[in-house]
Amino acid sequence: MSFAEEVQQYLEKGLKELGVSLTPEQAGKIVSFLSLLREFSEPLGLTAIKDPKEIAVKHALDSLSVVRHLPDKGPILDLGTGAGLPGMIIKIARPEQEVWLVDARKKPISFLTYAAGVLGLKDIRIIQATVGRKDPLPRGYFNCVVSRAVSELPLLWELASPLLKREGFLLAMKGPRAGEEIEAFEKKFPETIVDFKEFTLPITGDRRTLVFVKGSPSSGN
């Protein structure tokens, strides 16, 4: 069985478990993206994961698990997208929504620009910038900033909050032991509204936590 066929099988199985439905075109684009990722992974140092099952679960299904929690409309930013995770998968799952992928490093940004062209994705902005350091991103513009494996919550909130609309929120993708981090965050930022959801990934059963942070209406973020 080819890499793409194997990834597709795991993806189909996992989508059922997640309760997410994609069109055949969207599923095909995800498989194509993961195949490109595998091809360019070693030369560009993009991701250490090579096994089709792990790629399907830890990259695609983990990224897809946030889609139902995203706002239906309005721009979304993936802060520290690296090889496009979760942002590229979100863009494929939400083709009509404006999605921005931002990373400080040049190589992943070149890869993502190429991949977006191959996949024919529209309304996607792929930008090399270090968020927080004279970055060119618009302030108060995004309905959601999503981020995986970039930093602890306090720094993430400091970077994300100026970019969010008043009603926007940060969605931080965390591992199984986010409780202490959330508690410490709430003490440091008592003016924020924090919520979280724990779940297990399909197929592997790995535990994950999604953390949602909003500025309180009176704090102006």
Ligand X SMILES: C[S@@+](CC[C@H](N)C(=O)[O-])C[C@H]1O[C@@H](n2cnc3c(N)ncnc32)[C@H](O)[C@@H]1O
Give the interface with ligand X as residue ranges (CB under 6 A).
Answer: 80-83, 85, 102-105, 108, 130-132, 148-150, 159
CA distances from 116 to 39, 84, 107, 108, 141 (A): 15, 10, 14, 12, 23
- Residue 5 CB neighbours (<10 A): 10
Compute the least distance from the CB of residue 95 to ligand X, in Å: 21
Backbone angles phi, psi at 106, to 5 degrees: -75, -45
The minimum distance between CB 108 and ligand X, in angstroms, equals 6
| Residue 22, marked binder | no
Partner residues linked to 211 by β-bridges: 172, 196
Cβ nearer to ligand X, comparing 14 with 108: 108
Beta carbon of residue 150, minimum distance to ligand X (angstroms, whole number)? 4
> Does the CA dihedral 70-76-79-80 come out positive or negative?
positive
Q: How far is the CB of 57 from ligand X (least distance, A)?
A: 13
For ligand X, which is the closer residue by CB, 193 or 212? 212
Q: Which residue is nearest to ligand X (CB)?
A: 82
Judge whether 125 is annotated as a binding position: no
The upper half-sphere exposure of residue 79, i.e. CA atoms within 13 Å in the direction of its Cβ, equals 29
Shortest separation between residue 121's beta carbon and ligand X, angstroms: 18
Q: Rounded to 5, what percent of the chain is helix, strand, coil?
A: 45, 25, 35
Residue whose C-alpha is closest to residue 200's, from 57, 93, 91: 57
Q: Please check if 85 is assigned to a binding site.
A: yes
The annotation places the binding site at: 80, 85, 148
The annotation places the binding site for S-adenosyl-L-methionine at: 80, 85, 148
